[in-house]
Amino acid sequence: MDPGELTGILSRLILGALASFLAIMLWSRTRDIAWMFIIIGTIMAYAETVFSVLQHFGIAGGIIIPSALVSALSILLPSLPTAFFIAAFAVMVARKYQRR
Q: CA–CA separation, 35 vs 27, rounded Å?
A: 8
Domain boundaries, the chain: 3-98
Query: How many Cβ atoms are within 10 Å of 70's Cβ, its own excluded?
Result: 17
Residues in the chain: 100
Tell me the per-residue pLDDT of 62-89, one tens digit each, with 9 for 90 and over. 666 677 777 788 888 899 999 999 999 9
At residue 37's C-alpha, the angle toward residues 66 and 30, to 5°, is 125
In order, the DSSP letters of 50-70 are HHHHHHHTT-BTSSSB-HHHH
CB 46 within 8 A of CB 20: yes
User: What pLDDT score was predicted for residue 99?
Assistant: 66
CA dihedral 36→38→42→45, nearest 10 degrees, is: 120
Instruction: Report the run of H or E that residue 16 belongs to, with start and end.
Output: helix 3-27
Task: Name the stretches of the chain with pLDDT < 50.
Answer: none
User: What pLDDT score was predicted for residue 100?
Assistant: 64
User: What pLDDT score was predicted for residue 60?
Assistant: 73
User: What pLDDT score was predicted for residue 58?
Assistant: 81
